[in-house]
Structure 1
Amino acid sequence: MLDVIGYPVSVLLWCWHHVFGFLLGDANALAWALAIVFLVFTVRAALVKPALAQARALPKMRQLTTRVAAIRKKYPDDRFRQTEELRKAQRELGVSPFGSILPLLLQVPAFLGLNQVLRAFTASPDAANYVFSLADVRSYLAATLLDVHFGDALLSLTSTGPGLVQATWLWQAAPVVIPLVLIATVATHLTARLAVTTQPMTGPQATMMRNLSLYVLPLSVLVFGAALPVGLLVYWVSSNVWMLGQQRLLSRVVDRSGH
């Protein structure tokens, strides 16, 4: 099933790798890293329009937040009436409850597809991988950053039997993995902080979501990032840095346009 996602992602990665491979050499680590980075930029650029629509909807979201508080105060013990009034307010303001998460949902297939493609490089080192030839696969496996391969992870978890998992630490990968994980963690926190300041929410659920986005999600990146291969970490860092810059830029554009 993931092949449906893997093929278009592999095409984009193949194109960018051949661009940078022509300039730097096919097995050059920077060529592969830039190919992953520009894959991110390509996907993110395609999502700028829905992200801009989301940014322009922020004033209406603030109005909706105010109306939600009023609805809960007016009907404190009537959950059915609260739901009906909330739907009515959403229709009047033209706000979709899924609008704020649409850009995030649209990028999930790209992450899953890249994960499928990159893991296939190391899982089948002697076979072609989607649109990549065997020579491409070998150039990916030969590329290293500070003697660390793109398929290496700081922490590898291997099943050794029913309910048994063996953890293996590859400390050689630490000089590459740790900086990438730290950058991804900081970028995730800063992106969440910017989102909180531009999308004020009230209520206990809002407080919980704020804490999740500000602290729990960045901490999960810090913890689970050690188990991600370097190639996926490059994607994660690039995506979060792009997202941080995009949010700042779009908020300024919306403020200047007055929409």
Structure 2
Amino acid sequence: MLDFIYYPVSAILWFWHEVFGFVLDPASGFAWALSVVFLVFTLRALLFKPFVHQVRSMKKMQEFAPHIKALQEKYGDDRQKMAQEMQKLQAEHGFNPVSGCLPMLVQVPVFIGLFHVLNGFRPGAPSNYVFGAEDVASFVEADLFGAKLSNTISQAPEMLAHFQTDRTSMLLVGVPLMIAAAIATHFTARHGVQRQTAEAAQNPQTAVMNRMTLWLFPMFAIIGGPFLPLAILIYWLANNFWTLGQQRVVYRRIDREEAEKAGTPAVVDSTAVAASGSTGAAKAEPAARSATEPTAGTKAEPAAKADEPASHDEPGEIPGVIEDRSRDADKPGETR
């Protein structure tokens, strides 16, 4: 029924087992465990762009929280009018909250597909989707410190013995994986909660959801861990480590983009102001100098002192014109 999910999941797992089986022993539990880890990395890498869109959608939801709250207070119990106004708000700002859920929705069938494929690894099975009989036998015989990857801690001792393992081995490997998965889930959720605005965090519904993601979801790894195959616990752990690292990268990238957008107008304005100020100063400076300084090539005459007598022009002289009498010495007796 869900073969369109089972075959791609098993194909990716098969590919990575071929890669790590070439380096390690194909029947090694580490080769199969790394195959599960890189199955996670492959799927999450394909979902990187949708994840970025999800983060942006969540940020827009926080920005629109005051508008949504105002609509709720305005229309109250009129859900139809409320829905219409919400659609208008989303259309105006190009915001679709459903599209941001794509990465989470895609991971659900992948989780189910991996769970189903792992259950198909049974002793004596002729095939398991893209895996042949030899690959099935390799997975069944592989162990991680004595624990089988396709078995669960809660299985009956007879079933564990059928897979050539026991409860003690399963507990020694399974319990640390459960604890590590719970811790990784908690810190991944905490990193997301820290990104919320103060107004969004004060919302009662958001506060309840934050407590659930911080404490209840990690407890699923402890409570449900004994009923999950070890390979699923490895998947859970790797998925949360990837999510935590991806969140840091994407949030840092978005913060840098927003800082650049916010800083661009300020830089342009300050540059324009500085340019206009320097131009005005450049224009004002020569004018000021022309009023206070002599022109080039001349020396400033000392100001006349108040106690010195003012000069008087001789009769017949043009006021303000100084005659050149240097030639009088050359031709004595001549008058000018």
TM-score (norm. length: structure 1): 0.89
Aligned-pair CA distance for 1:57:
3.5
Amino acid corresponding to residue 141 of structure 2 in structure 1: A
Q: 1:240 to 1:52 in 2, by over 3 A?
A: same
Aligned-pair CA distance for 1:128:
1.2
Report the equivalent of 1:197: 194
- The 1-side partners of 2:142 and 2:155 are apart by 20
Report the equivalent of 2:174: 177
Amino acid corresponding to residue 183 of structure 2 in structure 1: V
Please say if 1:55 is aligned against 2:52.
Answer: no
Structure 1 residue matching 2:98: 3-state secondary structure: coil
Amino acid corresponding to residue 208 of structure 2 in structure 1: M
Amino acid corresponding to residue 124 of structure 2 in structure 1: P
Q: When the two structures are aligned, how many residues end up with a matched partner?
A: 248
Q: 1:142 to 1:157 in 2, by over 3 A?
A: closer
Q: Deviations over 1:142-201 (max 9, x none)?
A: 11111111122111389xxxxxxxxxx933311111111111111111122222222443
Please say if 1:145 is aligned against 2:144.
Answer: yes
Report the equivalent of 2:231: 231
- The 2-side partners of 1:85 and 1:196 are apart by 28
- The 2-side partners of 1:212 and 1:23 are apart by 42
- The 2-side partners of 1:12 and 1:77 are apart by 49
Structure 1 residue matching 2:155: 3-state secondary structure: strand
Amino acid corresponding to residue 198 of structure 1 in structure 2: R
Query: Is this contact kept in 1: 2:154–2:226, CA < 8 A?
Result: yes
**After superposition, where does 1:104-183 map in structure 2 within 5 Å?**
104-122=104-122, 125-156=124-155, 170-183=167-180
Structure 2 residue matching 1:129: 3-state secondary structure: coil
More strand by share: 1
Query: Is this contact kept in 2: 1:6–1:130, CA < 8 A?
Result: yes
Query: Is this contact kept in 2: 1:180–1:234, CA < 8 A?
Result: yes
Amino acid corresponding to residue 216 of structure 2 in structure 1: V
- The 1-side partners of 2:2 and 2:249 are apart by 33
Q: Higher mean Cα deviation, 238-247 or 197-206? A: 197-206
Query: Is this contact kept in 2: 1:60–1:93, CA < 8 A?
Result: no
Amino acid corresponding to residue 142 of structure 1 in structure 2: E
Query: Is this contact kept in 2: 1:61–1:199, CA < 8 A?
Result: no
Query: Is this contact kept in 1: 2:71–2:85, CA < 8 A?
Result: yes
- The 2-side partners of 1:173 and 1:26 are apart by 21
Q: 1:59 to 1:5 in 2, by over 3 A?
A: closer
Query: Is this contact kept in 1: 2:53–2:100, CA < 8 A?
Result: no
Query: Is this contact kept in 1: 2:58–2:97, CA < 8 A?
Result: no
CA-based RMSD: 2.0
Report the equivalent of 2:243: 243
Q: Higher mean Cα deviation, 79-88 or 42-51? A: 79-88
Structure 1 residue matching 2:226: 3-state secondary structure: helix
- The 1-side partners of 2:132 and 2:80 are apart by 58
Structure 2: give runs of 5+ residues left out of the alignment: 158-165, 262-336
Amino acid corresponding to residue 16 of structure 1 in structure 2: W
Greater CA radius of gyration, 1 or 2? 2
Q: Which has the higher contact order (CA 8 A, sep 6+)?
A: 1
- The 1-side partners of 2:220 and 2:98 are apart by 24
Amino acid corresponding to residue 218 of structure 2 in structure 1: P
Aligned-pair CA distance for 1:99:
2.8
Report the equivalent of 1:256: 256
Once the two structures are aligned, what percentage of the paired residues are identical?
42
- The 2-side partners of 1:80 and 1:157 are apart by 54
Query: Is this contact kept in 1: 2:9–2:114, CA < 8 A?
Result: yes
Amino acid corresponding to residue 102 of structure 2 in structure 1: L
Query: Is this contact kept in 2: 1:2–1:116, CA < 8 A?
Result: no
Report the equivalent of 2:217: 217
Amino acid corresponding to residue 205 of structure 1 in structure 2: Q
Aligned-pair CA distance for 1:106:
1.1
